[in-house]
Structures are given as structure tokens and as C-alpha cells.
A and B are shown apart, each in its own frame.
Chain A
């Protein structure tokens, strides 16, 4: 017995949800298959939502210290129960799951609990947790199965002493010390969260600086802040071995340096969760990086099968995954999806947080040659002083004539919200003056846009003066006009 649908979505994470809802809105009969006990995927269960909840506690602590001008210093007692730091977690996760579930039900989507595998290009078999099997057939299938943490061969992850990003939040007490292997988004976020909570954190990676895809000015500031909190970033370092002795974890670097810590977090990337999908039955195969390849419309080599989210690789963010889910189904149903979001912002929830949109300075110079860069340090902004958030800054990159914003990079609390102003200016193709000729609330951190714009335009003016100066006759330059 096979149940027939217009659209079957495998996975109920951010990408899957949006794909399913878009399908339902388009009038399709939709089923969404989820292997977990609840909807939301890793994002809700073990990823974005819980980690951001823990971060919220850490930020509250840090900002309490900061905003009190360090008059009061809050220290986490050694061994604090992490669950006490995540007090709101269950509530947050459950309400999020309830919201997603209600939304799916409201849209008439069938939620099927089980694991899906292809049996043909148009059919999947779903195995329930008790082992019962049923088949679903669909004209369009969207693969949104997400990813799992990568397990490097030389790191013995036991989820007890050596953890990955799936098990790090199972910790029941704050360790005294934590080694973090990796320097990507997950590694940097957790490293800075735990450091803020008072854990002695050492982050190790082969890269000269963490988060290599961001503007080095931001990451240098991040490392400085990170190390100021008592943590350490060990750059250009490779891991020789990791061993847990039952009490502590000993990490030996190829340089010979030995790091000993209570726990270790391995965050060396993620791999697409394609095992068990039986892709060959669908006429698909993962590429050499274990990802499913798609075209500009998120379509695989099998035209009615789409893949979205982490399973297709970078940027592998919840934000992009949602948009991909929506766009894939729009394409499948022949609906307009709107302009492709080239101005997608990136938010990194480190402490302090970082965000960017568009091109950074190096990429802009490479693409456009002459450009203008304006900066605003939060210490120049009244709100920065009031909140004692003086270490942040905003950097704006614009075309050489200031006619449009090419990119914005921000570090500091509120960066992930602030970045949207820059994004909208870019979407609207606004000139830099838009930040000067319009009124912002005072005191706000958004004022940094005005300061950066003024800085940028003063550079344009200086450059213009220099150009005019260079072009003027000698006598004019000497300040005396010769008749």
C-alpha cells in the first residue's frame, strides 16, 4: 500500500519546514517525514535553539558585569549545573516545537514519524521507530535531512569526555577547562560561550585565525576579546593525538605542546546525513565531499528531486536553509520565488557576536578596485558607552563614489540585528548618504551606521580634494593665483 502525495519532504528542520509549508500554500498534498521524536530537526533539538539559549545566559552574565561597569563581578560557581543555565531551554524548545507542529497541522501537512529511504526515484519507504514500514510516492521530493558532526579519525569521540556539538549540551556541570578543536562557527560560538561562563577554554586550529570567511579585522578583534576573557586561541596548530584517561582529556599538538582539560569539544565541521537514504535507488549519489549537488534552483540531477539545507553544503545556515526550502518548492510548482537573495546576512553567535552582509573590504577591492571604507567604533557612540559595549565596531564598504553600499561587517552585541539595516540599504541600492540624511533613534547602536557613513564620505571628500588638488595649476596649489 502506497500513500500518494504531491510533495514529500524528508526532514523537518528549517529547510524542510519551509519547503513543506510552501507546498501546502501552493495547494499540494504534502507529507513531511521526521526521524526524531519531535519536529524541528537538529536545529531545535541540539543545535541553534539550545546553544543560543545557553548563550543568552552567558551574555546576560557578561552584560551584567559590563553594564555595572564591573562594579559587580558575577562568577559561575565551579561545577555549576548546566541545566540550571538552560532553565528556559525545555520551555523554549517545546514552545518552538509546538509552534512548528501547529503550523504544519494548520497547513494540512501530514507529519510522519520515521526514517525515510528511497526505493525508487518517486517513492520512499518510511520505517517507524517500532520497525513498521510504509511507502510514500510523490511527484516532487525534497531532501532536507541536515547534517551531523564530523568524526575525525584521530579524535576518539565518546560523548563523555570527548564531545561533539551534538553532545556538548548534555554536559550536566560546567567543566573547569575545555579544549575546543576547530575554528569554525560552532567551535567559535561554544568556545566563547564557555569562556564567558568562566571555563578555561583553549581553542586549537590549523588556521591562523578563526572564522576564516569573515573580515580579518572582525576576527582579530574577536580573538583579542576571547583572550581577554582568559581563553586562548592556538593558531596554526595540528592535532597529533587526543586521549581521555577517565578523568581528563590530553590533547597533544604536532608541535609537541600538551593541553590537558576536563573535557574536549571536537567541532571540525559537519557531514550531510545521507547515509540510510539509499540515494542510488533515486538515481542520485553524494559527491566526493558527501554532499548532494544541486543547480541554481536547488534541483538535483533527478529533475523532480530537490535538496536543500546542510545536505547541499555551504553556507549551511538555518537562515539560508529556510530560503532554499521555500525556493525549491516554488521552482517545483512553477511559482515565482522572487529575486535570489544575494544580500543574505551572516550571523555568528559568538560573544561578542559578529555579522556581515555583502562584500568585505578585500573582496570588494578585488571585485571593484577603488572602494571606500568607513568605520565606527562603538566607543564613539553614546549607546556604546551607556551599555559599556565599547569594543564593538561597524565597518561599511561602499563603491568609490559612495553611490551604493557594497557590504557591512559588525562585531559587538546586537551585530546580528544591526546588520539588517545595511542589508536593506543594499537591497534598495541606497547611497551611503541614506544613513546621514535620515533620523535614527538616539542613543542607539544603529547610530554607528551614521558615524561610519560620515567617516566614509569624509574619505571620499578627502579623495576628491586630493584629486582636485592634483589636477589644479601650480600657482593655484600654492595659494596664489597668477593673473
Chain B
């Protein structure tokens, strides 16, 4: 028996919420399973340009895959599909490239870019950029945390990149619903709706796309930092990367304040990171911001 859509609606997490009927409609879409991750138009364009070029550079393709959560998610989905998957679950983008090969990978990304949904909302470009930037920053910080812990860097990046994969899906649904109803949602209302639904939607997507277990765990539990001991290393690393990424994206002054507050975060101790390890991680902020800038510009 299918649950009524209203049962899927979490309470609004912000004071400025969408009108009830719109929330219900989004919940209905989720219940129907209309889940798709829209891509960034510039990434789609670049893929098509790369894809049609003779002898496209594998490095460039890898960079593109690393900078777009939608594309990375699609590629992992295809790589783990029956057509390619075999018995072995693909864990990372590098592994997908190695397994599938450059020619077929180009075909996959071109197909995704051609047929996938692309964001076409001038009014929400800022929010879209924020989502992508945060995903990239979280992926890059997760990498650095993994490096410090000698955990798997590739898998940590994918967990970080896709931890909020539900958000662009919800945003896509929201934009569709707004278009149908001719409603204009404010930035704050959008953020609230994304916050409310993204874990649930991300988990559904992870399940449907058969994303790696670590990624699915990270999507489902990255906000549950109160009991860090209850989860595996990748969930903790993603959760920590998530909070550091939010702080790192702020202005230098705000970041300094946040950094002081962050230093005592229980996740550091849960991951056995000592104060100087934490400092070493914070010291990477400038390099990571520059890297993310290169990824997302």
C-alpha cells in the first residue's frame, strides 16, 4: 500500500516555508519516484564539446566527472548497471574510468549530458551554484580527512560529493512544480524545502541507483553527528567534511569564528584526530577553495 503523499512531508524546518499544496505536490512526485538529478548546463556543454573531440583527454574527462555530482552519480549508476557491472561494485570515479574505459565512458557522459535534465533556472542560479560548490568542497575536505586517516581517498571523495545528492533532485522537482503552478519560491523557501527532503530523496536515489554502500550510508546519516560512534568511518568523515565545508565557504572573518567553534566538534575525537591534525586540516582551506573554484568555475 502506498503511503499518502502527506505522510512523506516532513515538518517545515524554516519559518519561511512553501505553501502547503506545493509541498504536497513535491511529496507526491517523490512518492511517484520522479527522481532525476539535473546537471549544470556548463558541464553538459563542456562534455558535449569534449565528447565530440577526437582523442578527448582522459584527464579532462576525469576532472569533469569529479566536479559534477549529477554526472558522477549517473556514471556510478551506469557503471554498476547490469550492462557494465559484472559482479564487482564500482566504488569510485577512477575505478569506473579504469573499468569502463575512455571510449565507453565518453559515450556514457555524452548520453547523460544529452538526455539528462539540465538546470535552466535563471532565478535560482545562486542556489544551484551554492549546492555544487558545497558538494565539491565536501568531497575535497573528505579527501583530506581520508588522507590523514589513511582511509580510502577515492571513496571518501565520492561520499562527500554525493552526500547531498538529494538536494539538486528536490530543487529540480521544486522548479518543475513552481513552473506548473506559476509560483515563485524565495531563496529561503527553497533552502527550507531542500533541507527537509534531501536526506529522504538522496537515500531513495542511492538505493535506486545502487550507489556504493558507503555512499548510501553517508547520504542517509551525515547529519547524525550526535552519536558519531554509531556509524562507520565514511559516515563520520563525510559528516565532518560537511561541517568544515560550510564553515570554509564563509568569509575569512566568519570562518575564523566558525573555526574556533568547530575545533571541539565531537567528530574529530571520534575519528581520533588530535588538535594539531585538526589544525593541519584547517590549514588546507585556501588550497581547497582554490581547487573547488577551478572545479566549479
- Verify A159–B275 contact, CB threshold 8 A: no
A158 to chain B, nearest CB (A): 7
- Verify B59–A246 contact, CB threshold 8 A: yes
CB of B184 closer than 8 Å to a CB of A: no
B223 to chain A, nearest CB (A): 22
Which residues of chain A in 60-81 are interfacial with respect to chain B, using CB atoms and an 8 Å cutoff? 77-81
Partner of B147, one of A80, A159, A172: A159
CA distance A3 to B92 in the complex (A): 48
> Majority SS of interface residues in chain B?
helix
CB of B251 closer than 8 Å to a CB of A: no
CB of B95 closer than 8 Å to a CB of A: yes
A172-B97 contact in complex given A129-B274, A245-B59, C-beta closer than 8 Å: no
Can you name the residue of chain B whose Cβ is closest to the Cβ of A36? Answer: B272
A170-B152 contact in complex given A78-B99, A79-B99, A247-B97, C-beta closer than 8 Å: yes
Total interface residues in chain A, CB < 8 Å: 30
**Chain A residues within an 8 Å CB radius of B273:** 129
CB of B153 closer than 8 Å to a CB of A: yes
**Chain A residues within an 8 Å CB radius of B140:** none
CB of A4 closer than 8 Å to a CB of B: no
- Verify A160–B88 contact, CB threshold 8 A: no
Interface residues on B, range: 20 to 34
**Chain B residues within an 8 Å CB radius of A160:** 143, 147, 153-154
Can you name the residue of chain A whose Cβ is closest to the Cβ of B147? Answer: A159
> Which of A79, A81, A130, A171 gathers most chain B CB within 10 Å?
A79
Which residues of chain B in 28-74 are interfacial with respect to chain A, using CB atoms and an 8 Å cutoff? 58-59, 62-63
**Chain B residues within an 8 Å CB radius of A78:** 88, 99
- Verify A79–B88 contact, CB threshold 8 A: yes
CB of B89 closer than 8 Å to a CB of A: yes
CB of B141 closer than 8 Å to a CB of A: no
CB of B205 closer than 8 Å to a CB of A: no
CB of A176 closer than 8 Å to a CB of B: yes
CB of B173 closer than 8 Å to a CB of A: no
CA distance A81 to B80 in the complex (A): 13
Partner of B272, one of A37, A166, A167, A246: A37
CB of B245 closer than 8 Å to a CB of A: no
- Verify A246–B62 contact, CB threshold 8 A: yes
CB of A46 closer than 8 Å to a CB of B: yes
- Verify B88–A77 contact, CB threshold 8 A: yes
CA distance A130 to B151 in the complex (A): 21
Can you name the residue of chain B whose Cβ is closest to the Cβ of A262? Answer: B98
16 other contacts beyond A129-B274, A172-B91, A176-B98, with CB at 8 A cut-off?
A37-B272, A77-B88, A79-B86, A79-B90, A129-B268, A129-B273, A130-B269, A159-B147, A172-B95, A172-B152, A172-B155, A173-B95, A175-B98, A246-B62, A247-B94, A247-B98
**A to B CB contacts below 8 Å, 5 in the list:** A46-B150, A80-B88, A81-B91, A129-B268, A173-B95
